[in-house]
Structure 1
Amino acid sequence: MNSTIFVGLDVHKATVSVAVAEGTRGGEVRSFGTVANRAEAIEKLVGRLARDGYRLGSV
């Protein structure tokens, strides 16, 4: 795949809701799920996105 996506995080005390949007104009936006608000869970989320072939970076 090797495409770019944008990741939105809605952070709460106990959980983080995750949404992803395709990197193209008018791209699909979809819920990616909810993870625990812990460093290990966020690391696992990043690993899962990278494993799915998305190019990850920071701004």
Structure 2
Amino acid sequence: MFPVPVILAQGPAFDTGIASLVLTAGLVVKSVLVLLLLFSVVSWAIIFYKLWVYRKAK
């Protein structure tokens, strides 16, 4: 019997990490992510401000 070479089919290696996806994203995607991050920070600031005011009122 003759040895048969086995060739494994390999597709292109894609890095699907979050940092890689953000770095390779387009301008619109990056803009939306920055906007979402900004709104998130503002929302948390409002939450902590309201907690501070509520505790101060007690």
Larger radius of gyration: 2
TM-score when normalising by structure 2: 0.32
TM-score when normalising by structure 1: 0.31
**Greater percentage in helix:** 2
- The higher-RCO structure (CA 8 Å, 6+ apart) is 1
